[in-house]
């Protein structure tokens, strides 16, 4: 695993309680869309003992000039330190690594199933595949609770409009509370929702990313639908 020094370039709120952090992309940083890094920042305690490290999936495309990571902001020491990090501050990244990336066989459609901030590595794949005109037919199911929690929703709409081979199906697991403004689905990603949109479940490649409970439940849903476990890729996210 390679080690790089980087710099915080900016931060953007991408959903209620979710912030994306933009870091300088090191030279010779060979990223595959969907991979992750270990991000190390300095905490309030001086010296090596004050350094804190967490795993982050890269949300940006390998084609982008910078690196983007995103997280739900929790009341944790790491989250607070990251939120307070001054623009221009240094950080260390180890990686990239991980096998959660888009398959090479473009003849097999890809179905992405994201829960909350699990959209990050899938956004990296989609942002890369769309301008590169990679031939995978791609379908995204993106589950959030209220609509205000849906990170990168505007980016996903733009990607869908830019590619006839990509379709996005957002869903809210809590009843929409925006007076009819929500145009997506409601409810958890279920076998009924999948069958309605996918029809033939076997022979596709599935990518599941999100909290442990969501990944486990969705994996079981696919298994019950007859999907071969060799056709399912998963990535779990913890709170920081």
Is the four-CA dihedral 183, 186, 188, 190 of positive or negative sign?
Answer: negative
Count Cβ atoms within 10 A of the Cβ of residue 14 and give its class: 0-12 exposed, 13-18 middle, 19 or more buried: buried
Q: What's the whole-number mean pLDDT along residues 33-46?
A: 88
CATH of segment(s) 110-237:
3.40.50.80
CA distances from 232 to 147, 223, 235 (A): 27, 9, 10
- Of 135 and 30, the structure prediction assigns the larger pLDDT to 30
Q: The tokens of 18 are what?
A: 């979710």
Q: What's the whole-number mean pLDDT along residues 84-110?
A: 92
Q: Give residue-wise pLDDT tens across range 145-188.
A: 998 999 999 999 999 998 888 999 999 998 655 556 777 889 99
Q: Is the pLDDT of residue 2 over 90?
A: yes
Q: Give residue-wise pLDDT tens across range 189-226.
A: 999 999 999 988 889 999 999 999 999 999 999 999 99
pLDDT given for residue 183 in this prediction: 75
**Phi (first) and psi of residue 174, to 5 degrees:** -115, 150
pLDDT given for residue 103 in this prediction: 83
Is the whole-model pTM more than 0.85? yes
CA distances from 183 to 167, 171, 176, 179 (A): 14, 9, 9, 11
Three-state SS at 47: coil
Mean pLDDT of the chain: 90
Q: Is the pLDDT of residue 48 over 80?
A: no
Give me the residue spans of the domains in the chain: 3-97, 110-237
Question: Domain 3-97, CATH 2.40.30.10 — does that match?
Answer: yes
CA distance 92 to 99: 21
CB-CB contact of 119 with 18 (8 Å): no
pLDDT given for residue 130 in this prediction: 82
CA distance 100 to 35: 6
Rounded percentage of the chain residues whose pLDDT exceeds 90: 71
């Amino acid at each position: 695993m390679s080690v790089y020094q980087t710099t915080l370039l900016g931060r953007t709120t991408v959903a209620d309680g979710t912030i994306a952090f933009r870091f300088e992309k090191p030279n010779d940083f060979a990223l595959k869309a969907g991979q992750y890094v270990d991000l190390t920042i300095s905490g309030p305690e001086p010296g090596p003992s004050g350094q804190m490290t967490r795993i982050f999936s890269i949300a940006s495309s390998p084609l982008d000039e910078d690196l983007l990571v995103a997280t739900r902001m929790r009341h944790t020491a790491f989250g607070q330190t990251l939120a307070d990090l001054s623009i221009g501050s240094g950080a260390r990244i180890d990686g990239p690594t991980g096998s959660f990336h888009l398959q090479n066989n473009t003849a097999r459609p890809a179905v992405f199933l994201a829960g909350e901030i699990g959209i990050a590595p899938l956004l990296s794949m989609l942002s890369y595949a769309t301008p590169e005109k990679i031939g995978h037919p791609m379908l995204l199911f993106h589950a959030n609770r209220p609509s205000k929690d849906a990170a990168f929703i505007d980016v996903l709409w733009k990607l869908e409009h830019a590619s006839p081979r990509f379709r996005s199906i957002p869903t809210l697991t809590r009843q929409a509370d925006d007076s009819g403004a929500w145009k997506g689905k409601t409810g958890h990603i279920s076998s009924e929702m999948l069958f309605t949109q996918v029809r033939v479940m076997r022979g596709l490649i599935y990518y599941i990313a999100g909290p442990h409970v969501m990944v486990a439940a969705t994996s079981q849903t696919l298994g019950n639908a007859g999907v071969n476990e060799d056709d399912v890729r998963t990535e779990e996210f913890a709170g920081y």
